[in-house]
Structure 1
Amino acid sequence: MQDVTAGSVPLRRALPRLVRGPLDALVGFADEAGGEVVRLNLGTFRPYLVTHPEHLQHILRDNAANYVRDGKGLLWRPVRRAVGEAILVAEGPLWESSRSVLQPLFTAKRVETLIDKMAAAIGEAVDVLDEPARAGQTVDASDTLSRIVCQATMRVLFGDKISVPDALRVVSALGTIATAMVPRLLVPFMPYAIPMPGDRAFRGAVRTIDDVVLPIIRETLRRPGDGQDIISTLCRTRVVNGQEITEKQIRDDVVAMFSTSTETTIAVLSWLWPVLDTYPEVAARLYDEIDQVVGADQIQRSHVAELRYTRMVLDELLRLYPAGWMIPRTAVASEVLGGTRIASGATILVSPYVTQRMAALWERPDIFEPERFSPTAPRRQHRYSFFPFGGGPHQCLGQYLFLLEAPLIIATLLSRFRIQLHGDADLTPRMGASLRPRQSARLTLVPVDRSRAR
């Protein structure tokens, strides 16, 4: 393979486009490069944008040891300020220890046993919407989803150790962090000694999170048990690098797991309402499937496998609006990738959002078409053309849980209500640690006649 210099986007082109619209700019750079590795000249910061599925497989899976989540790297530093040396950013023995103790909580076999408990928690949370629905009152979509997700997640993953009101405080704080870190993500080389917009809000949000989780962790450490929830599991004594795990490390992993187990579901499903308003034919087919499969029943485990179109809609949401839109890596050793020399210490930008919108990989990439994921659709040529949960050893632990929880939420809501969006649908992403619509939607919930025959 020929060793050549990467194609480069000069500073005079890269910076103005990124300032105008970072997400559109990255997709544009990828399309213009035809999937080849391209280097972005941002002055003192010159990352490589890697988008081709074969190159992504090499970075995330085949040679993952050479492309690490460097907690000290420029793009990881804002995340590290919130979650420290958590499972989200750690490498080596610390990451292996945290992942090994948490992995059993997320196996397909165990998650299957949680479906009924999760469905009951979701149903109870949706019950609260009956009153505003009967009164014709609008509800905030983000608040509604947050409450539903928190009730389900706190019960099945956290053993109700965190109350729903406290969980909502943490969700709000994490939302503040997600937006407050954006200035630092856009200017990653700026020293932390120089104040930037969002810094004060960031620090306040971290304090709020600690106020909630630290007392619970300390109580669990004082009274350890055999509970199968995340906090109990992380609080059990274990040794890493010859030292017992610290309270700080437990706190970091608890916050990281709270974030991933709630934010992904809330962020991805927040796109459902503007999408259904924009694509009424998708809405009609989705309602029809849920009416036929669930009808007036309470959602049950047996329904999930029958919600095939619902899963197709969910996959298309994950394609266009992946919560984890950026997965930065740092090259440990120099090597040639796709004909391009990657220098040791270089920053690699890997983005599901970008690859999953590339015209070379997807027809009409910006159009919402669930049929792409039909079981009868042609098989995708590349495994890593669609990777909303990452890949390789760092693939998201909660992927299987999400793929069960999200259909349960959709089916529970849409079997009870017809949902009307107030105002114009806005499909413009608001960039942060995860992607959400720029404007939070307000919804009117119209009760479905529960006496109808199935």
Structure 2
Amino acid sequence: MSVDAHPRSARKAQTLSIGHLRGLLRDPLKEFEEMGREADGRIVRANLGPFRPYLITHPDHLQHVLRDNVDNYRREGMMWKPLSRLLGDVTVTDTGWLVKKRVYQDLLSAPSIAQFAGEMIATISEAVDDLGERADPERPVDAYAEMTRIVYRAIIRVLIGDRISTSKIDELGQLMVTATTSSFRPRMLMPFVPFSVPLPGDRTFNRAVRAVDDLILPIVREARRDGAGGRDVVSLLLEARDDDGQGIDDRAVRDGVVGLFVAATDTTVAVLTFLWGLLDLHPEVRARLLDEMDRVVGDGPPTFEHVADLTYTKMVLQEALRLYSVGWITPRIARTDDVIDGVRVKAGTTLVVSPYLTHRLPAVWPQPHVFDPERFAAGRSRHRFAFMAFGGGPHQCSGRVFFFIEAPLILATLLSRYRPVLRSPHPVEPQAHLTLKPRGRVKIALEPVRR
């Protein structure tokens, strides 16, 4: 498929029926996947009553929207509107964006990563110790809750340092889970409904957001009052300046911390939970993963230097990300008229970009529902927009760097001590919220490693 921004003639996109709306209200992900099968990589327009977005799934079309003509497609509308109540302004045009961008770039530079990795490893080890005291082969634990606890503790130290207690970290984790699962479906499917009109889940969502504010804003104010002077993100944001020497206010610092927190945690928590079901179904992958862990890390504590040598581990994580694309939908709005592969897109139209559907295109990923880490073996080539787990183009998710550090380190720490065994009576299936999460509880038991 070729993309031409200026063809001599343009055609209309195929339209999907309004009948999909009922299915989306019942089971968004299942119905969304059916829409993807019908589209089969073509640009289609979903007829959902007053809301008629384009569905964009083919890598060629994604490249046009996310890279080649990226300035024409804004992160507005649909999920961005309700999401802004949690994360603040999520566009790249707000006045604090340059300041935040510089801080993120500094944080994710090689020297900074090497510096915070040690603290992250120590925090992960403490969290796994805590888990080990509460779990054994006879007492299965909730994998999502435990992965949340480990990941959140590891990341919050990078973001806030020692300004927050462990109990408050766990409280923040519960609040963020509540906020990202409460009001997603109604607001996502009915973005035209104003906030003044209450929808199911709004009250729970708003209460969680206020609680996040009550937890984070006092930390920011105290850090500003006492002087930042650290390498945590709160300090970096308070000290950062734009080209005119202007800093950002407390609310913008809070938004920067919460935004990076979501980017650096949601994907890791979800994938590490889905992974136990995948390894249970694929013992050959599990055996090879454990063999690499034993060979690279051994029975000692993992280090940052081990991450680069955990090549098969990274392949397993990438394939899990392909199957369970946590950021499953990322809408855009066209700023001006455009044409994509002969399809005319008018200004103001919503485009739905879906990594979840792109990762299920048979023409792009043969046997897309099969879990096969070898897809990511060295030397394999693919379209640069075929794998979209962290988006693409200049606005790729900053959580990518965190994921490929924290996820291997958490696995290495956990697997050096235990062999997690799936104890759930049902397959681990995904469910659509603001991000993709497991449907139902995923239970795992921890069997100590015998050496």
TM-score (norm: length of structure 1): 0.92
Matched, 1:28 2:34: yes
Change (3 A) 1:305 1:161: same
1:113 and 1:39 mapped to 2: Cα distance? 48
Greater mean deviation of Cα atoms: 389-398 or 240-249: 240-249
**In 1: Cα distance, 2:85 partner to 2:69 partner:** 28
CA deviations 1:230-280 (Å, max 9, x no partner) are 111112264689975222222222221222222221122111112122222
Which moved further from structure 2: 36-45 or 367-376?
367-376
Q: Which moved more, 1:305-314 or 1:187-196?
A: 187-196
CA 1:160/1:9 → structure 2, altered by over 3 Å: closer, same or farther? same
Q: CA 1:134 to 1:59, structure 2 compared with 1: closer, same or farther past 3 Å?
A: closer
Query: Counterparts of 2:120 and 2:33 in 1: how far apart (Å)?
Result: 37
* Residue 121 (structure 2) aligned to one of 116, 119, 139: 119
CA distance, structure 1, for counterparts of residue 336 and residue 349 of structure 2: 9
Instruction: Call closer, same or farther: CA 1:222–1:174 in 2, change over 3 Å.
Output: same
Q: Which residue of 1 aligns with 2:353?
A: 350
Partners of 1:141 and 1:443 within 8 A in 2 = yes
Q: Residue in 1 aligned with 2:300?
A: 297
Cα gap change, 1:107/1:398 in structure 2, threshold over 3 Å: closer, same or farther?
farther
Alpha-carbon distance between aligned partners in 2 of 1:240 and 1:170, rounded to the nearest angstrom:
34
1:6 pairs with one of 9, 13, 18:
13
Amino acid at match of 1:392: G
Q: Could you say what secondary structure the match of 2:37 adopts?
A: helix
Alpha-carbon shift at residue 150 of structure 1 (Å) = 2.2
Name the CA shift for 1:9/1:242 in 2 (closer, same or farther; >3 Å).
farther
* 1:79 aligns to 2:83 (yes or no): yes
Show CA shifts across 1:360-387 (max 9, x none): 21111112111111115x311x110102
Q: Who is 1:404 aligned against?
A: 405
User: Which moves more between the two structures, 162-171 or 235-244?
Assistant: 235-244
- Cα 1:124–1:18, aligned 2, differ >3 Å: closer, same or farther? same
Name 2:424's counterpart in structure 1: 423
Between the aligned partners of 1:141 and 1:172, the Cα distance in structure 2 is: 14
Does residue 62 of the first structure (1) align with residue 57 of the second (2)? no
After TM superposition, list the pairs within 5 Å mapping 1:14-413 onto structure 2: 14-70=20-76, 73-85=77-89, 88-91=90-93, 93-133=95-135, 136-182=138-184, 183-236=186-239, 238=241, 245-376=248-379, 378-380=380-382, 382-413=383-414
Deviation at 1:352, TM superposition (A): 0.9
| AA aligned opposite 1:405 | E
> What is residue 415 of structure 2 aligned with on the other side?
414
Residue in 1 that maps onto 2:449: 448
> Aligned partners of 1:302 and 1:251: how far apart in 2?
32
Q: What is the CA distance between 1:173 and its match in structure 2?
A: 1.2
> How far apart are the structure 1 equivalents of 2:280 and 2:198?
41
> Equivalents in 2 of 1:74, 1:406: separation in Å?
30
Q: Which residue of 1 aligns with 2:4?
A: none
Q: Measure how far apart 1:425 and its partner are.
A: 4.1
Q: Distance in 2 between matches of 1:431 and 1:53?
A: 22
Unpaired segments of 5 or more residues in structure 2? 1-6
Task: Give structure 1 stretches of 5+ with no counterpart.
Answer: none
Distance 1:448 1:97 in 2: 46
Q: Distance in 2 between matches of 1:80 and 1:276?
A: 36
Distance 2:92 2:305 in 1: 38
CA distance in 2, matches of 1:11, 1:189: 16
Matched letter for residue 12 of structure 2: T
Cα pair distance change 1:302/1:105, threshold 3 Å = closer
In the TM superposition, what is the alpha-carbon distance from 1:161 to its structure 2 partner?
A: 2.1
Per-residue deviation at 1:156?
3.0
Q: Secondary structure at the match of 1:129?
A: helix
How far apart in 2 are the matches of 1:425 and 1:290? 28
Change in 2 beyond 3 A, CA 1:157/1:249 = closer
Seq. identity, %: 45
How far 1:202 sits from its partner (Å)? Answer: 0.7
Number of residue-to-residue matches in the alignment? 443
Moved more, 337-346 or 231-240: 231-240
CA spacing shift, 1:430–1:26, aligned 2, 3 Å:
closer
Runs of 4+ in 1 over 6 A off after TM superposition: 240-243
Contact 1:61-1:392 at 8 Å conserved across structures: yes
Contact 1:147-1:164 at 8 Å conserved across structures: no
1:37-64 Cα offsets, whole Å, 9 max, x none, are: 1110111111011111111111111211
After the TM superposition, which of the residue ranges 138-147 and 51-60 deviates more from structure 2?
A: 138-147
| CA offset digits 1:171-207 (Å, max 9, x no partner) | 2111111111222112222232322211111111012
Partners of 1:45 and 1:394 in 2: CA distance: 26
Change in Cα spacing, 1:249 to 1:116, as seen in structure 2 (3 Å) is closer
Partner amino acid for 1:316? E
Contact 2:53 2:350 in 1 (8 A): yes
